[in-house]
């Protein structure tokens, strides 16, 4: 395994491996792709989205995987991905945090409603797989998304709150449009 791949076995601040994460990850019985699906099932079963706008505003991009697990509540795709990534790394699967922007938003979207999504990339059997933790699925491509950045977690790529996300996405959008014209 090369140095670039090994980098994604390390934890970021949000994906720090804690005793609780190790305890849960040790209950998974499978290996390889079956392990990925087992972890995705755990995330889908044990962590739920909330309709509370106040909760989302208060906690969006501000919690660790451990805090998300303990609360059992997510603010959306980021939280699902952080928990999944922490589990994968405990199980020695190099896993990348992938911040993506919806292509349609880059082309015609406005500033009021930012459209992005979080994926993970897992290295299994000498191949990278795109995982969508919020949907509980493995995908073959990013389809309607453009990759914004990759790292260990959201904080690692400099996004710690909504305004960080908005400012970075708007700057990216401006550069993206210049390249297209």
Give residue 111's domain range: 3-180
Question: Which pLDDT tens digit goes with each residue over 112-144?
Answer: 788 999 999 999 999 999 999 999 999 999 999
Q: What is the pTM of this model?
A: 0.95
What value does the mean pLDDT take over residues 93-100?
Answer: 98
Comparing C-alpha atoms, which of 44, 56, 115, 49 is closest to residue 84?
44
How many domains, in total, are found in the chain?
1
Comparing C-alpha atoms, which of 71, 76, 86 is closest to residue 13?
86
Partners of 99 in the beta sheet?
A: 118, 149
Percent of the chain topping pLDDT 70: 100
CATH number of the CATH domain containing 167: 3.10.620.30
């Amino acid at each position: 395994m090369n140095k670039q791949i090994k980098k994604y076995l390390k934890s970021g601040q949000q994906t720090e491996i804690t005793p609780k994460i190790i305890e849960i990850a040790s209950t998974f019985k499978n290996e390889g792709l079956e392990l990925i699906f087992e972890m995705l099932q755990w995330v889908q079963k044990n962590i739920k989205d909330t309709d509370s706008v106040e909760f989302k505003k208060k906690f969006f991009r501000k919690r660790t995987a451990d805090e998300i697990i303990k609360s059992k509540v997510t603010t959306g795709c980021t939280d699902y991905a952080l928990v999944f990534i922490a589990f994968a790394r405990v199980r020695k699967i190099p896993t990348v945090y992938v911040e993506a922007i919806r292509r349609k938003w880059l082309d015609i979207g406005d500033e009021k409603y930012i459209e992005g999504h979080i994926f993970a990339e897992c290295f299994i059997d000498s191949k990278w797989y795109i995982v969508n933790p919020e949907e509980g699925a493995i995908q073959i491509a990013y389809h309607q998304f453009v990759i914004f950045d990759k790292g260990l977690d959201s904080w690692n790529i400099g996004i710690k709150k909504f305004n960080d996300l908005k400012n970075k996405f708007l700057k990216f959008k401006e550069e993206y449009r210049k390249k297209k014209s």
